[in-house]
């Protein structure tokens, strides 16, 4: 027998294994570094949120002290005790802020100037004339409002790449403080005009632009609410409720300001007006402390914990990979010794063959595990790419609302289109890995087959018309109107086939044939046939056309695009629903992809 170069084979296999292992370890190290950066960022944002909450409470206390000071100086003697309590609240809030602000902010000029201003107000404010008292309060509040923005910048809240928390922090950092300052000005000046008639002409001139400021603050508030409802759908009902309540009160206040001050009625008392505005201020404070700040904290804390879990998972994967490489090296050396022995002892050939077959089965199992790990790694990596991509798309959406010239608008539109295409690719990869991992559960809800198919046709009509293709759907007369199943997954499988047909058809038409076949009293087989007049599928390619990351013709795929996942996803979804996807094809004459899934019959259709 000829002795094979087993030592050389062992070296080659070892080097390849080490190379693959080194690449995986490097990729995992990069991922750990990125996750560590994410944890640091989220923790910084959480600390910033705590600091802003305390600053927010301090600002609210100062606004209340300013308005009550004006009311007292205007002649409301019974507010003296209330004013003293408000001053104590400011001192307590100031102490709370000192305990959470970082040292460099406590040593900064803005903080020291604001604290010195409050000390003067606390000591001598009630001895000043009303205009001086009002001005000095407003300057201190402005310094603390600016400090809120400084803290948001320090903690990177304003650079949050997640759309949901970006709009939550925008509400906490910008919208609510601005709205409350406008409301506080209304309360102070309104009370002054109602209680001191001699100041009414002068105050009215201030009130006119203040009403415009209230309108602008209300509009900005509503715009951010709309963004939150779009990007935090699970809290849409709560956001809609609190926004409607606050908006109704703001409209009522605007009506009161116009009626009493602009039209000069002055029919209500200062006490009544003070109470009306105070209710709105308290409602907005409750909204901040009970809804937005807690939700922002919850989401940031959840991201910290998720990133830490992912770091632990990746670290365990690195340790496992290192141990596996060591085990693989030992296994390779054992195999080499056994193979050398087989050269010298022909008698052990049968036993060695059986051992080799066993090892092959182990290797196949390892390959399955490695493939699953690859899919999980690819999904995690896709999520990591999708996170900044969502930030880019969100920023592009915000930029589109600004004033742009024609060229900038076209470039922005192209950027948004490319970003959405990339997001679609990532979504498809993630869907595939979820299917491969068995992480998909099927819903059983009633839905209209015709409506679902028409929706898909309308969604792809633009793509078909761009290539001058005819796109239509044909329905069997006996097709049930309502069925029971997972509409989203049926439609996803259909659209994978529809996307494939349009992509590989240059002229002619694409048609969807829809019919149903009764299986028993509770189930039907829903048939969705997608036929086209495209390039067809060669006979020798049909056996693996449904494999993942596979295309029938690479040269055509490079021209029309694609990642080879659509048909694989469609077949796996069909199999999950007890059905199949089959191909009937005449090369050069078009293709027919038949999707059949087993779904339930609707009770009213029986």
More reliable by pLDDT, 313 or 533 = 533
Residue whose C-alpha is closest to residue 305's, from 44, 43, 33: 43
- 89-93, 271-275, 283-287: segment of lowest average pLDDT: 283-287
DSSP one-letter string for 14-29: HHHHHHHHHHHHHHHH
Contacts of 589 (CB under 8 A, 6+ apart): 533, 536
pLDDT at 599 over 90: yes
The reply to whether 445-605 shares the fold of 6-22+311-436 is no
What is the share, in percent, of the chain residues with pLDDT greater than 90? 22
Query: What pLDDT is stored for residue 575 in this prediction?
Result: 92
CA angle 33, 439, 483 (to 5 degrees): 145
Angle at which helix 176-195 crosses helix 236-257, to 10 degrees, equals: 30
Cα-based distances in Å from 130 to 1, 44, 194, 598 = 110, 41, 14, 78
Whether the Cβ atoms of residue 207 and residue 189 lie closer than 8 Å to each other: yes
pLDDT tens per residue, range 15-43: 666 676 667 667 767 777 776 777 777 77
pLDDT bracket for residue 119 (50, 70, 90): very high
pLDDT of residue 116: 94
What pLDDT, in 10s, does the model give residues 130-177? 889 889 998 998 999 899 889 888 877 766 677 777 777 777 777 788
pLDDT of 481 strictly over 70: yes
pLDDT at site 374: 59
Band (596; pLDDT cuts 50, 70, 90): very high
Between 113-122, 230-239, 317-326, 444-453, the lowest mean confidence (pLDDT) is in 317-326
Higher confidence at residue 374 or residue 22? Answer: 22
pLDDT for the residue numbered 3: 46
Tokens read off for 342: 């087989």
Q: Indicate if the pLDDT at residue 260 is higher than 90.
A: no
| pLDDT score at 604 | 65
- Give me the pLDDT at residue 558, please: 45
- 3-class SS at 598? strand
DSSP per-residue string spanning 123-150: HHGGGS-HHHHHHHHHHHHHHHHHHHHH
Q: CA-CA distance, 496 to 428, in Å (whole number)?
A: 10
pLDDT at 556: 44
* 261 vs 205: CA distance, rounded Å: 10
Backbone angles phi, psi at 601, to 5 degrees: -90, 140
Given this model, what pLDDT does residue 11 score? 60
Which of the two residues, 467 and 232, has the higher pLDDT score?
467
Residue in 165, 164, 201, 157 with CA at minimum distance from that of residue 41: 157
> DSSP string spanning 27-86?
HHHHHHHHHHHHHHHHHHHHHHHHHHHHHHHHHHHHHHHHHHHHHHHTT-GGGHHHHHHH
Looking at per-residue pLDDT, the higher value among 285 and 383 belongs to 285
Mean pLDDT, all residues of the chain: 79
- Rounded to whole angstroms, how far apart are CA atoms 390 and 127? 55
Least confident of 27-41, 107-121, 175-189, 522-536: 27-41
Distance from C-alpha of 489 to C-alpha of 477, rounded to nearest angstrom? 24
Q: Does residue 587 carry a pLDDT above 60? A: no
Which pLDDT score, from 0 to 100, does residue 7 have?
55
pLDDT band at 367 (very low <50, low <70, confident <90, very high): low
Instruction: Give pTM, 2 decimals.
Output: 0.47
Residue-level pLDDT at 98: 93
Among the listed ranges 345-349, 464-468, 476-480, which one has the minimum average pLDDT value? 345-349
> What percent of the chain is predicted at pLDDT more than 70?
78
Task: Tell me the C-alpha distance between 206 and 185, whole Å.
Answer: 10
Over residues 473-483, mean pLDDT = 93
- On the question of pLDDT at 497 being above 80, the answer is yes
Domain covering 445-605 in this structure, CATH number: 3.30.565.10
Looking at residue 593, what is its pLDDT?
92
Element (H, E) at 163: helix 163-170
Pair 110, 146: CB distance under 8 Å: yes
Q: Looking at 162-171, 340-349, 360-369, 372-381, which range is the least confident one?
A: 372-381
Each domain of the chain, given as residue ranges in start order, spans: 6-22+311-436, 44-299, 445-605
Give the pLDDT score at 555.
Answer: 47
Determine the length of the chain. 606
- Among 24-33, 449-458, 588-597, the range with the most confident prediction by mean pLDDT is 449-458
Cα gap 108→104, rounded to integer Å: 6
The CATH number of domain 6-22+311-436, selected from 3.40.50.10210, 1.10.287.130, 3.30.2320.50, 1.10.390.10: 1.10.287.130
Q: What are phi and psi of 563, to 5 degrees?
A: -125, 5
Query: Average pLDDT for residues 452-461, to the nearest whole number?
Result: 94
The pLDDT tens digits of the residues spanning 539-580 come to: 677 667 877 655 545 444 444 445 567 788 889 999 999 999
Mean pLDDT over residues 213-236, rounded? 80
């Amino acid at each position: 027998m000829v002795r094979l170069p087993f030592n050389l084979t062992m070296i080659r296999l070892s080097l390849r294994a080490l190379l693959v292992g080194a690449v995986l370890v490097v990729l995992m190290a990069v991922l750990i570094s990125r996750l560590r950066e994410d944890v640091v960022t989220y923790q910084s944002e959480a600390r910033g949120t705590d600091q802003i909450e305390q600053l927010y409470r301090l600002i609210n206390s100062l606004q209340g002290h300013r308005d009550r000071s004006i009311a007292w100086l205007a002649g409301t003697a019974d507010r003296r005790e209330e004013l003293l309590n408000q001053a104590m609240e400011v001192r307590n809030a100031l102490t709370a802020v000192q305990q959470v602000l970082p040292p460099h902010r406590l040593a900064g000029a803005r903080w020291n100037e604001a604290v010195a201003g409050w000390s003067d107000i606390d000591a001598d404010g009630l001895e000043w004339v009303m205009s001086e008292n009002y001005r000095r309060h407003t300057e201190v509040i402005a310094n603390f409002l600016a400090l809120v923005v400084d803290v948001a910048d320090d903690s990177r809240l304003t650079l949050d790449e997640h759309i949901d928390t970006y709009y939550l922090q925008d509400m906490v950092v910008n919208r609510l403080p601005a709205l409350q300052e406008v409301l506080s000005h209304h309360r102070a000046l309104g009370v002054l005009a109602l209680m001191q008639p001699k100041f009414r002409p002068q105050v009215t001139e201030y009130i006119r632009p203040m009403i415009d400021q209230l309108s602008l603050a209300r509009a900005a508030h509503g715009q951010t609410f709309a963004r939150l409802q779009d990007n935090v759908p699970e809290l849409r009902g709560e956001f809609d409720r609190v926004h409607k309540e606050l908006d109704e009160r703001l409209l009522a206040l605007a009506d009161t300001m116009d009626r009493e001050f602009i039209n000069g009625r002055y029919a209500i008392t200062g006490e009544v007006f003070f109470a009306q505005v105070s209710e709105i201020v308290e409602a907005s404070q409750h909204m901040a402390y009970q809804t937005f700040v807690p939700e922002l904290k919850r989401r940031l804390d959840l991201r910290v914990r998720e990133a830490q879990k992912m770091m632990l998972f990746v670290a365990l994967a690195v340790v496992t990979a290192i141990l596996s490489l060591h085990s693989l090296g030992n296994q390779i050396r054992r195999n080499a010794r056994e193979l050398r022995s087989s050269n010298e002892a022909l008698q052990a050939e049968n036993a060695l063959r059986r051992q080799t077959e066993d090892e092959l089965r182990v290797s196949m199992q390892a390959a399955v595990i490695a493939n699953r790990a690859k899919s999980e790694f690819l999904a995690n990596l896709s999520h990591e790419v999708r996170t900044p991509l969502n930030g880019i798309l969100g920023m592009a959406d915000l930029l589109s609302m600004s004033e742009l010239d024609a060229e900038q608008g076209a470039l922005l539109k192209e950027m948004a289109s490319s970003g959405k295409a990339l997001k679609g690719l990532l979504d498809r990869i993630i869907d595939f890995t979820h299917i491969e991992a068995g992480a998909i559960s099927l819903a059983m809800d009633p839905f209209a087959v015709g409506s679902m198919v028409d929706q898909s046709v309308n969604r792809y009509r633009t793509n078909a018309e761009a290539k001058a293709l005819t796109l239509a759907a044909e329905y069997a007369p006996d097709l049930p109107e309502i069925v029971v199943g997972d509409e989203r997954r049926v439609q996803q499988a259909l659209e994978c086939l529809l996307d494939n047909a349009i992509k590989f058809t240059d002229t002619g038409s694409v048609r969807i044939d829809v019919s149903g076949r009764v299986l028993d009293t509770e189930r039907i087989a829903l048939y969705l046939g997608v036929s086209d007049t495209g390039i067809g599928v060669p006979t020798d390619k049909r056996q693996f056309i449904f494999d993942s990351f596979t295309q029938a013709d690479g040269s055509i795929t490079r021209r029309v695009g694609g990642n080879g996942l659509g048909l694989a996803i469609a077949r796996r979804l069909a199999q999950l629903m007890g059905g199949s996807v089959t191909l009937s094809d005449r090369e050069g004459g078009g293709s027919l992809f038949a999707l059949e899934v087993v779904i339930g019959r609707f009770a009213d259709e029986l």
